[in-house]
């Protein structure tokens, strides 16, 4: 599967490297050129056990590459993961401007049916907002797309293990076509680990991530 991961921070880099390792053809995009140049040379900006080896292994096999060219990443990919930051504002609300900006670019550059997957942690209802922004930016193009919520539960320090052996993979969408594509992406992971798949609607998947974060915060 041809995949574009937009935002090569902690989550985007781990997700991109792991998806490549599962056999997908992945390009990770970021706006910081220096970071992208380093990553293409196997220099990793964060420390995460096993990540450097995973990136180098998949770079060598040409299943993983890094780029600043978002337009090309959108056009060549069947699935686009949004993994940009959602920092807290002074009010405590998450700043969704990075997510919205990526949605604008996806709408402007959509050239065929694609699945847009939100990995960033966003409030319930954001998937619908992303869908609306993409639709508004399609101009007059008659193109179909689906928006999916696939929240990430990784912990820093055990991120690769958490991605490769998750307790569950949550997929939120109303589209059976998108569910099938998402299952294909994670197929080898289901076969090797017996991980189960939670298939639900967009809003419920978004709520599961917030509920999980709240539970973990209260537990600590």
Ligand X SMILES: NC(=O)c1ccc[n+]([C@@H]2O[C@H](COP(=O)([O-])OP(=O)(O)OC[C@H]3O[C@@H](n4cnc5c(N)ncnc54)[C@H](O)[C@@H]3O)[C@@H](O)[C@H]2O)c1
**Residue nearest ligand X (C-beta atom):** 9
Query: Minimum distance from CB of 62 to ligand X (Å)?
Result: 22
Q: Which of 37, 69, 144, 156 binds ligand X (CB under 6 A)?
A: 156
- Retrieve residue 30's tokens: 């970021």
Q: Which of 11, 27, 79, 207 binds ligand X (CB under 6 A)?
A: 11
Q: Which of 4, 18, 55, 83 binds ligand X (CB under 6 A)?
A: 83
β partners of residue 27: 4, 65
Stretch touching ligand X by CB under 6 A, among 51-59, 149-157, 174-182, 185-193: 149-157
Query: Minimum distance from CB of 60 to ligand X (Å)?
Result: 23
Stretch touching ligand X by CB under 6 A, among 50-58, 80-88, 125-133, 184-192: 80-88
Q: Which of 152, 163, 169, 173 binds ligand X (CB under 6 A)?
A: 152
Q: Which DSSP string corresponds to the chain?
A: -EEEEE--SHHHHHHHHHHHHTT-EEEEE-S-HHHHHHHHTT--SS--TTHHHHHHHHHHTTSEEEES-HHHHHHH-SEEEE----PBPTTS-B--HHHHHHHHHHHHH--S-EEEEE-S---TTHHHHHHHHHHHHTTT----EEEEE------TTSHHHHHHS-SEEEEE-S-HHHHHHHHHHHHHHHHHH--EEEEE-HHHHHHHHHHHHHHHHHH-
Asked if 29 is part of the footprint of ligand X (rule: CB under 6 A), the reply reads yes
Asked if 26 is part of the footprint of ligand X (rule: CB under 6 A), the reply reads no
Q: Which of 39, 64, 70, 133 binds ligand X (CB under 6 A)?
A: 70
Query: Minimum distance from CB of 87 to ligand X (Å)?
Result: 7
Within residues 176-215, the interface with ligand X by CB under 6 A covers: none
Give the integer Cα–Cα distance in Å for 135 and 142.
Answer: 10
Other Cβ atoms within 10 Å of 57 Cβ, number: 15
Q: Which is nearer to ligand X, 144 or 211 (CB)?
A: 211
Give the integer Cα–Cα distance in Å for 144 and 125.
Answer: 20
Stretch touching ligand X by CB under 6 A, among 20-28, 48-56, 78-86, 180-188: 78-86
Q: Which of 121, 175, 199, 200 binds ligand X (CB under 6 A)?
A: 121
Select from 48, 51, 60 the least CA-distant residue to 17: 51
Q: Which of 25, 52, 101, 203 binds ligand X (CB under 6 A)?
A: 101
Give contact residues for ligand X (rule: CB under 6 A): 6-12, 29-32, 70, 83-86, 98, 101-102, 119-121, 152, 154, 156
């Amino acid at each position: 599967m041809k995949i574009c991961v937009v935002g090569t921070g902690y989550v985007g880099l781990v997700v991109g490297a792991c998806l490549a390792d599962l056999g997908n053809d992945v390009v990770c995009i970021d706006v910081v050129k220096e970071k992208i140049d380093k990553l293409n040379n196997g220099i990793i900006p964060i420390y995460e056990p096993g990540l450097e080896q995973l990136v180098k292994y998949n770079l060598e096999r040409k299943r993983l590459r890094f780029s600043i060219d978002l337009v090309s990443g959108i056009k060549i990919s069947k699935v686009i993961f949004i993994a940009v930051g959602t920092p807290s504002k002074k009010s405590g609300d998450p700043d969704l401007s990075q997510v919205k900006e990526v949605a604008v670019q996806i709408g402007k550059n959509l050239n065929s049916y694609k699945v847009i997957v939100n990995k960033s942690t966003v409030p319930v209802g954001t998937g619908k907002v992303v869908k609306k922004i993409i639709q508004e930016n399609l101009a007059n193009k008659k193109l179909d797309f689906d928006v999916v919520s696939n929240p990430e539960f990784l912990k820093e320090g055990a991120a690769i293990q958490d991605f490769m052996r998750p307790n569950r993979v949550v997929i939120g969408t109303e589209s059976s076509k998108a569910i099938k594509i998402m299952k294909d992406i994670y197929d080898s992971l289901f076969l090797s680990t017996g991980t189960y798949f939670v298939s639900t609607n967009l809003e419920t998947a978004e709520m599961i991530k917030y509920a999980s974060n709240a539970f973990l915060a209260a537990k600590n």
